[in-house]
Chains A and B, each alone.
Chain A
């Protein structure tokens, strides 16, 4: 064999090898990831989508128009494809496409989000598009569409929405907390308070005048005393209150919910709740401000870690109410 013949043969061999490699590279596989009742239809759709995209890639490689095998696309779609191809050749660089099928308004099956590179595009912004393939009941492709490049979701602060949702969940927890008192449900209160909860309660002390109507000491007739209690002590006291009061109605008002101010992710589930509490029972009533420190790390069960109470007449302004700054909180 002459050298020239050998080189030609070698070049042809390399081209063929390259084409074979290119063909292997360009054989696209489409897989539908959700179940379909008719498995044979699903397979047909996968096969036709794969053959179509492979034909596109081959066309780009050879510089010719796509040679779509028979039975893959409908006649009408062939015409549409001709128009699309005249605007821009396209190829799929992703070797395996895994997508769920959807049902369109016209009850046809569709696969979307297929990424394509457009070769006639002159600017970077139009170089990449996504197409959707719609299938007839026999599995043939009866539509090809270039879909919107990205979904235009509203440009808003989604953290605010997440916060609103969390705020509503906390309000729902507060409602159940209040119900537990009004229904005298010790079991629920036991669940709601953390075992290590810090609980500050208060009670009105009214000084009675002496029998001659004078007061021995120059003190106001009514004052409030505070007590710090453990969860066990507090629940024991509540059991007594429930037993001794036929009627109990607690009303919450002016509820404000605040996230812990530290940006450290460890504190992201810590919330503070301030509210005005009206306590009405058969034997006693008062008005005060509650501060609740709530741990929301468990979605299924929030926990009260701190519960404090202050009498209404102790509060001159909102800043007087206990809050995060009153306590040293450390999340381990």
Chain B
């Protein structure tokens, strides 16, 4: 009888503990990427909540709250030490802030100082407390340093072409600094396969834009340049080679102002403007072969919609040239360069002016998420 009572008591206790822990269903939780899966594997299953929340898990990290966010049901899309409010992330840089939260949790879950130093070296990340690098005298323990920063600690983020630097200003005399490379995989946490899947999903799932993408740079009332040329090229930048650029072409009208060139008499310049996302009458359909992860898939998408998908985060560059035996045969290259994380997407097509200005559409190959490996930003020249 006493044993039976003990069994019941034990069972109820377990049930209560399980319920109090938020009914953790760690066995059913999935992770958006391998990086998060590694973190998840090091958190006690009983700690993981079912929904977006902050929670404490002293067995994992003492003194700090852990933030988790879910995307799809039961899929964790973010896990990290809670250091920024949602508003702060939006104002500063959401991706970089999420990276700092995630990365510092990753470090905190490592067993010892040697492992942390190895990880910092692997990722080429620098952490300093009051200018002292981690692992040297004056900064030997990470958790106490992390306990000095929180949601209310003033924070600044600096961005150079290849480096981010985040600084928590603890007080007038103390600051914690983290410098990390501006690399897509490191900061987003998604390797190439995972990133390609995301690109593929956004292409496959696009919905037809209600309005064609418009550039908000070109006024309808025309632009005035100091020029008498009929066709004017407004010089912008080029990508690695002078022939791959994002110059904009205009034509002078009778009011002596310049309007975006939209004329099949000037096919190369008109197509160039089109590829850079400027409003045009023509919106050819692209039959896009997306080459990724040892597979290929074909997606049909209008050119303007395709450009719209990448408009906010990427800077476009293009090249339009005659190639082939047919008179109007063209070779087109469109490079979409991510504005911050040193990688590109590339679209390549062998087509014709007839296909672009007509109704046949364009067949194109699309390569996504190509690292630029220390791209020299001095190559971006006017």
Contact = CB atoms under 8 A, between A and B. Distances in A.
Contact of B346 (A162, A165, A183): A165
A175 B199 CA distance: 16
A101 interface: yes
Contact of A161 (B118, B333, B373): B333
Interface in A159-194: 160-162, 164-165, 168-169, 171-172, 174-176, 178-179, 182-183, 188, 191
A235 B369 CA distance: 26
Contact of B265 (A148, A251, A300): A148
A254 interface: yes
Dominant SS at the B interface? mixed
Contact of A172 (B265, B357, B370, B374): B370
Contacts of B240: 164
Given A102-B354, A105-B281, A175-B192, A169 B244 contact: no
A165 B348 contact: yes
B372 A171 contact: yes
B193 interface: yes
Nearest to A275: B373
A176 B192 contact: yes
A101 B358 contact: yes
Contact of B243 (A154, A191, A255): A154
B354 A158 contact: no
A105 B273 CA distance: 14
Dominant SS at the A interface? mixed
A104 B367 CA distance: 32
A103 interface: yes
Contacts of B192: 175-176, 178-179
Contacts of A112: 264
A156 B359 CA distance: 30
Interface in B120-166: 122
A158 B118 contact: no
Given A161-B244, A168-B344, A251-B122, A105 B321 contact: no
Interface residues of A, number: 51
A285 to B, nearest CB: 7
Interface size class of B (residues with CB under 8 A): 35 or more
A161 B321 contact: yes
B358 A103 contact: yes
A51 B7 CA distance: 102
Contacts of B374: 253-255
Contact of A113 (B191, B262, B327): B327
Contacts of B370: 168, 171-172, 175
Contacts of B267: 151
Contacts of A242: none
A332 to B, nearest CB: 27
B266 interface: yes
Interface string A301-331: 0000000000000000000000000000000
Contacts of A244: none
A168 B346 contact: yes
A252 B243 CA distance: 28
Contact of B358 (A100, A152, A157, A158): A100
B294 interface: yes
A116 B293 CA distance: 52
Contacts of A245: none
B320 interface: yes
A206 interface: no
Interface string B299-324: 00000000000000000000111110
B358 A175 contact: no
Contacts of B348: 165
A34 interface: yes
Given A168-B344, A182-B191, A278 B122 contact: yes
A128 to B, nearest CB: 14
Interface in B22-53: 34, 38
B241 A161 contact: yes
B263 interface: yes
28 contacts: A100-B358, A101-B358, A102-B264, A102-B353, A104-B264, A105-B264, A105-B281, A112-B264, A152-B266, A158-B323, A158-B331, A164-B244, A165-B348, A171-B370, A172-B346, A172-B369, A174-B371, A175-B192, A175-B371, A183-B34, A183-B191, A188-B294, A247-B38, A252-B371, A253-B374, A254-B374, A285-B118, A300-B296
Closest 7 CB pairs of A and B: A100-B354, A156-B243, A255-B373, A102-B357, A172-B370, A161-B243, A175-B192
